[in-house]
Chains A and B, each alone.
Chain A
Amino acid sequence: MSENIYMPYQMRIEKITHEAPGVKTFRLKFINEEDENKFNFRAGQFGEYSVYGVGESTFCVASSPTRKGYIECTFRQTGKVTSALQRCEEGSVIGFRGPYGNVFPLEEWKGKSLLFIAGGIALPPMRCVIWNALDLRENFKDITILYGARTVPDLVYKHELKEWAERGDVKLVTTVDPGGETPDWKGEIGFVPAVLEKMAPKSENTIAIVCGPPIMIKYTFPVLDKFGFTDETIYTTLENRMKCGFGKCGRCNVGNVYVCKDGPVFNLKQLKELPAEY
């Protein structure tokens, strides 16, 4: 690998999965075997994905580090690069730089229960941890996943949701916003915080991982607080505009904290110490 920190790995798109309208998952394989062997990442990290001629875009690695030989990413078409990614097909070559950023402290969480709370397109950053934890299932106690989206079609990872639902060792609750249900919808109807409240989660020896749109996060924290989760046991990831991924380009800092280096994973205690500029 080059010493040039801006050089991406060459990745071939091995598989494309349509997750939801405008949302796709790419499975990426290293073209260069050497790169693959050297490559290592941990749950929570992100990278810079690039379409040559269009540019780079930042999002998390959505696959688990326990699954070797490939990485996966899930993105929604919003800007220039994600639109170009949408036009890519299986077999296309794209660039990937990473991994960057800190990780979910899975080691520290050993022996605890995990409560995942995700909304909309924010499941991908969590999927990485979920699979990581599931692949090391014996390390953890109860694993609960609460996932909500605006409408049924907007739910991502529909196959995996099914898989998780069928597994005996995971409790999965899915919900859609009122009005977003389909006639055959069997999950909950209601906003994530409300559903969470109904679930009355136990906070004892439990870590809550929350990812979602700001409005969801805002109303979820008080619910967790109500059920006795302390700030140190609530984790989330931040997303900020980034260009480099390694603390140089100057965009992502919140106060003196660089989301790309000190984040993207923060617990609520850390988050509360940040100035309100994210």
Chain B
Amino acid sequence: MSRIGVFVCHCGENISATVNCQKVAETASGYEGVVHSVDYKYMCSDPGQTLIKQAIKDKNLTGVVVAACSPRMHEPTFRKACNEGGLNPFMCEMANLREHCSWVHDKGDLTTEKAIDVVRTQVEKVKRNQPLTDIKVPVTKTALVIGGGIAGIQTSLDIANCGHKVILIEKDPSIGGHMSQLSETFPTLDCSQCILTPRMVEVAQHPNITLYTYAELESLDGFIGNFTAKIRKKAKSIDEKLCTGCGLCTTKCPTKKIPSEFNEGLGFRPAVYVPFPQAVPNIPVIDRINCTYYIKGKCKVCEKVCPTKAIVFDQEDEIIEVAVGAIVVATGFGIKQPDFFPEYGYGKYPDVITGMQFERLASASGPTFGEIKRPSDGQVPKKIVFIACAGSRDEAKGIPYCSKICCMYTAKHAMLYQHKVHGGESTVFYMDIRAAGKNYEEFVRRAIEEDTVKYVRGRVSRVYEKNGKLIVKGVDTLLGAMPVEIEADMVVLATAGVANPGAEELAQKLHISYDGYKFFAESHPKLKPIETNTGGIMVAGACQSIRDIPESVSMASGAAVKVACLFSQNELTREPLIAVVNRCAAPLYSTCVGCFLCQSACPYQAIEREEIKDRSGKLIKSIAKVNPGLCQGCGTCVAFCRSRSIDIQGYTHDQVYNEVMALLNEY
């Protein structure tokens, strides 16, 4: 039985100046099912709210329409008042008479008519409202952080320091990521490892952090607050409990000439190795592809020398299952392999190197212990050319975006070179210098002005070898596109930053979306840059788009706060305005025919498959099911469902249909 109360607010004179509120209330009192209809000066005031509460009790109201301001303003207020009056808060609707009527129209009959129409739609709607209760979702207060670079490290530490458990997984044998490879960092030129290593150690020692290195995400199920992650711990062939990290095995390993990933191929490592001396954890792994034992079936030198018998050749990958409530994805970025521009001769000429390789050359822990030496002959390059935008901002190469960090690190590289090679000549070819950031522009100016780095604005068309020298051919656009040819001993390419090779696959495992470049997509570019569209999954650092260190760190801390917010409650409370698939009696069970076309329409992967089986377990039909933890209530699925089997609470077919009918017909 519908017993609707209508409350028309004057909003002082905001509404009543142009709308005849009394007439609105009077007209509404004549509608079927309306048992109470009044107008009042300020509905949102205490006495106004009391009016509602009292009427709910006195008239036994089953629904309330407050005709006042925008629901975006006061809907929570009036829903709360209804709740206090003993009515389900979702049995209250608002008719927007102020923002959508009195403020935008002049005083007159037409304005009052409109107000009446709007009230009528809400009366018809509220008649069909259903009492709803907030959805409570329990929260597992453990976070999973994927990726042990600076972003992953920072977010793990922040979450852990809030008192929550963190599981950090890193695909490589050590955490540290790209930052650990860097020599110095812009714009302060402080030593990257010096600032990073303490954080790495802190992670390893933090009681709230469980670290799995050499581990990857296998699969993910569940939803916000309630994920189940399967983690594949790749076999290290080392018993981590027994290994003391003495390093004897790595020194005795007969296979020593494997290009070191950490040194970007500029140095070597053995088959059993720790990537770099400060690695966390300091436990080696056996590279099964290059290890003689795994190739030929014999060797086992390491096993012989290991004092603690920690070598386990037949160790297998281990899958562990963990329950987590939130996930931070901090998988970082990849570097476009420069072989995709043959015109720069990378791979052909050993002295054409990437920026990251230069980092290793410049690093005190690198293959040359910090001396800038040419890979080809170990000579110190007298003349060096840096090519910025090697791939970035190049639509033809498929990377129209700016990689953002290259301008700064190229300036840093040139500066480091000038510091290390006295009398050296460095030239930077650039398109534009993008140095927006605290102290960034000053840094670049310093390189140009104090360290006499020569900046040439123009694109390099080719790098080739002539008489044992590299010739860099380009144009100087500031000099009217004059062709320039520069002789160089070494060329450094500021190669574009790209998404990690496995990003797409990971996104699919996580059910998060990604953009055309395979960077993970944030929920909202402005207001939700850290959240993804999948509730409970955040992104931090360069996996979302190329970021420098300070940005990655702030994003990581931001993600940690998002996780901490989530973990601050034992249960998540969510508005119940979500989609529901109808269910009915046998033999139909639901009008859903299981075409699952809604699945591809859902931006939140909230639609799952439910199998209806008979008592013997035989499948009767598969139907769609909305995961209330994931559904955000957009209703895209609703408009898409042919058989109208899915409906959205708060905006049901019955409600909106009757709203429209009420709008257009006399009642």
- A interface residue numbers (CB < 8 A to B): 16, 86-89, 92
Contact = CB atoms under 8 A, between A and B. Distances in A.
| Chain B interface size range | under 10
A16 B2 CA distance: 12
B127 interface: yes
A87 to B, nearest CB: 5
Which 9 interchain pairs have the tightest Cβ spacing? Answer: A89-B1, A87-B2, A87-B127, A16-B1, A87-B1, A88-B1, A89-B3, A87-B33, A89-B2
A16 B60 CA distance: 14
A8 to B, nearest CB: 18
13 contacts: A16-B1, A86-B1, A87-B1, A87-B2, A87-B33, A87-B127, A88-B1, A89-B1, A89-B2, A89-B3, A89-B33, A89-B35, A92-B32
B10 to A, nearest CB: 29
A16 B35 CA distance: 16
Contacts of A89: 1-3, 33, 35
Interface of B: 1-3, 32-33, 35, 127
Given A87-B2, A89-B3, A89-B35, 6 more contacts: A87-B33, A87-B127, A88-B1, A89-B1, A89-B2, A92-B32
Contacts of B33: 87, 89
A88 B35 CA distance: 12
A92 B2 CA distance: 11
A44 B581 CA distance: 39
Contacts of A92: 32
A111 to B, nearest CB: 42
A121 to B, nearest CB: 14
Contacts of B32: 92
Contacts of A87: 1-2, 33, 127
A16 B127 CA distance: 18
Contacts of B3: 89
A86 B33 CA distance: 11
Chain A CB within 10 A, most for which of B2, B35, B127: B2
A89 B60 CA distance: 12
B583 to A, nearest CB: 14
A89 B1 CA distance: 5
A205 B509 CA distance: 73
Contacts of B2: 87, 89
A92 B3 CA distance: 12
Chain A CB within 10 A, most for which of B1, B33, B127: B1
A87 B35 CA distance: 13
B194 to A, nearest CB: 69
Contacts of A16: 1
A88 B3 CA distance: 9
Nearest to B585: A78
A156 to B, nearest CB: 17
A87 B62 CA distance: 10
Nearest to B2: A87
A86 B2 CA distance: 8
A89 B127 CA distance: 12
A13 to B, nearest CB: 10
A169 to B, nearest CB: 35
A136 to B, nearest CB: 34
A139 B127 CA distance: 48
A243 to B, nearest CB: 21
A92 B189 CA distance: 83
Contacts of A88: 1
Nearest to B3: A89
A277 to B, nearest CB: 16
Contacts of A86: 1
Chain B CB within 10 A, most for which of A86, A87, A92: A87
A211 to B, nearest CB: 19
Nearest to B584: A78
A84 to B, nearest CB: 10
Nearest to A90: B1
B218 to A, nearest CB: 42
B415 to A, nearest CB: 76
A190 B32 CA distance: 44
B91 to A, nearest CB: 13
A89 B3 CA distance: 8
A92 B34 CA distance: 12
A88 B2 CA distance: 7
A225 to B, nearest CB: 28
B3 to A, nearest CB: 7
A274 B201 CA distance: 84
A192 to B, nearest CB: 20
Chain B CB within 10 A, most for which of A16, A88, A89, A92: A89
Nearest to B127: A87
A267 to B, nearest CB: 28
A239 to B, nearest CB: 15
Contacts of B1: 16, 86-89
Nearest to A87: B2
A89 B59 CA distance: 13
A202 B33 CA distance: 51
Nearest to A16: B1
A89 B35 CA distance: 10
A69 to B, nearest CB: 23
B396 to A, nearest CB: 62
A130 B326 CA distance: 62
B29 to A, nearest CB: 14
A92 B127 CA distance: 15
A271 B32 CA distance: 44
A186 B2 CA distance: 34
A98 to B, nearest CB: 24
A187 B127 CA distance: 38
A23 to B, nearest CB: 13
A206 B33 CA distance: 48
A9 to B, nearest CB: 20
Nearest to A13: B1
A107 B32 CA distance: 44
A207 to B, nearest CB: 32
B662 to A, nearest CB: 12
A87 B32 CA distance: 10
Nearest to B1: A89
A19 to B, nearest CB: 13
A21 to B, nearest CB: 13
A86 B665 CA distance: 22
Contacts of B127: 87
